């Protein structure tokens, strides 16, 4: 079973490019996945325009899915409400929109940066292991 898992994982570990480029694709994909109105299609388009790794960028965008979206938007609103407080507009819908958009932008960049750091560490670790033990993967 472990050999079968390694065979399926091998194409993902053979991505060309520097660890920074691959991690950047994943992090930008997360940002596009969190921002409302964007997603996998926007990630694929940006990957082509920026010449970044398409599968990693789309994978990052797909982390935000119908199961996680309510939590992301609730967190976005609460963060925006906390940051803006009394400066939010008076109407409920305006307050909701402004708070959510500000919080969403901050969460998108924060999650994207965290995804970049995690992917960079993972890629560097895997490549170092492969350099030490080329027969393992």
What DSSP line would sit under 38-64, residue for residue? -SHHHHHHHHHHHT--HHHHHHHHTTS
Confidence at residue 32, expressed as pLDDT on a 0 to 100 scale: 95
Confidence at residue 89, expressed as pLDDT on a 0 to 100 scale: 85
d(C-alpha 121, C-alpha 124), whole Å: 5
The arithmetic mean of pLDDT across residues 9-29, rounded, is: 84
Phi and psi, residue 135, nearest 5°: -85, -10
| Tokens of residue 132, six digits | 């030490």
Are 75 and 107 in contact by the 8 Å Cβ rule? The answer is yes
pTM: 0.84
Indicate the burial class of 130 (C-beta count within 10 angstroms; 0-12, 13-18, 19 or more): middle
* Average pLDDT for the chain: 88
């Amino acid at each position: 079973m472990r050999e079968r898992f390694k065979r399926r994982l091998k194409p993902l570990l053979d991505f060309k490019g520097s660890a920074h480029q691959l991690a950047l694709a994943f992090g930008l994909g997360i940002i596009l996945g969190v921002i409302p109105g964007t997603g996998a299609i926007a990630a694929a388009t940006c990957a082509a325009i920026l010449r970044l790794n398409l599968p990693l960028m789309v994978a990052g965008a797909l982390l935000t899915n119908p199961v996680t979206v309510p939590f992301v938007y609730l967190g976005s609103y609460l963060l925006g409400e906390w940051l803006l407080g009394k400066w939010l507009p008076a109407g409920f819908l305006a307050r909701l929109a402004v708070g959510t958009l500000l919080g969403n932008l901050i969460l998108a960049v924060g999650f994207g940066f965290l995804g970049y750091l995690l992917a960079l560490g993972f890629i560097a670790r895997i490549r170092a292991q492969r350099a030490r033990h080329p027969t393992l993967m």
